[in-house]
Structure 1
Amino acid sequence: MLEHLELFFKSIFIDNMVFAVFLGMCSYLAVSKKVSTAVGLGAAVIFVLAVTVPLNWLLDQYLLRDGALVWLGPEYADYNLSFLSFILFIATIATMVQLVEIVVEKFSPSLYNSLGIFLPLIAVNCAILGGSLFMQAREIPSLGLAFNYGVSSGIGWFLAILAIAAIREKIRYSNVPAPLRGLGITFIITGLMGIGFQSFGGMLTGDNEPPEPTENNAAELTPEKELEKEMEEDEKTVSYNEVVNK
């Protein structure tokens, strides 16, 4: 349970797709002028990542990695189909994006029209493919953790585009210098938001936990041991001074 929570919060705040690795920036900048469209695209990204990352995990575990085909028989243990990773991952993503496009067009034509070309372009959104590739590179051990990683990565991207969309709606009424209006001020705000998200970096690393005392360390920390050690050092210093004076 702790492992799931740690992966969830790290993927949202520390390893955020936008602010940590700068993936999906094209859609992030182009569809963040209105909160309504940002919410629709963010929800679509969460759904696509939540489905494609576990599916691609199954493909990687039982088809692509070295020795993954051993379940077909011992004669297939030496096969390595990892060179097909990009093709199969993209095929899975394109299928899910097509499903999302059909559903959005059916139930929310206004959102479908507002998203325009950027809805089918989710298929080539580097954040979507990056989720599957990071899952593969980090060797996530279970299907549940892969689903967790897909959902949390999508939530992180959703929060990023929602936050910048809300800010961009507000700064329309602000006195922004003319050379920075538009993408200029958006890049500056994105950088500041990235710094803010990276400040969560020390939350879940576990480096702040004190080391567990061993028997030897515990013995060394007692007052008696410290006093004996100081006396030994004083005796050595006195002996050294006597030798030097002679």
Structure 2
Amino acid sequence: MRTLCEHPAWNNGRRLARTPAGTVVATDGADGITLSTPGPALDVYDPADLTAAPDQVRRGLQGRGPVARLRTPDLWEAIATAIIRQVIRADQARLMYQRFTDTHGDPTEAGRVFPGAETVLALGDEAFAELGMAFKRDPLRAAAQAVLDHGEKWGQLPALDLVDELQSVPRIGPWTAGATVADFTGDFSLYPYGDMAVRKYARQTFPDLDLPDQEAAFAARWSAYCATPSELSVLTALTLALGGDRAKPLDRNEPS
């Protein structure tokens, strides 16, 4: 089974995930994802669940089989990851995320995990500037404070309500809120499925489809391929997985 490794915490088939009970090590193998201890939810997106998509889409996805994904169990990390992903390319975001974790992450026996909200609030301006993250400083700080103030309540909200609530935080708009909630809940019907990554992989894989170039028009066509939000979640997650292995080792010397 393939693994959807779009989250930048994945590196060389391994990911550390912060949970209320401690740090869990996830490993991507031939049989899917294995966890060092139970805790984080694993979702499986199966092309067999698609009923309304065009035949070429269903056939193409069925040939690749189901895809497993690890939910991010920590709401703060899901929000911060989506903020880091704003505006920049996926490879840049992955490198930035991992440099930030390597430098300022909270230490555990398994390695450093993404810095907690308290850690981020304690960092000085220079800590962000040294990593080329000055433009991420203010939104990360605002989100960290918001999570400390409201995170317990937010974690209990229905997914659609959480999308709305997150947009009360400065510099979090619909894209960031949707990406956060998809990461946290596993529901990719809430992901900004008209974004560049989905459009790119869909066109590459299904060149015979008449897919619009413009984001809003693409999103409308994409959702029309699905009979239910559940099918939209499956279609979007499987399409993101078409991006291939984005969990390869990183060159920490690569310029960002």
What is the TM-score with the length of structure 2 in the denominator?
0.30
Q: Which has the higher helix share?
A: 1
Q: Which has the higher strand share?
A: 2
* Structure showing greater Rg: 1
The answer to which structure, 1 or 2, has the higher relative contact order (CA under 8 A, 6+ apart) is 1
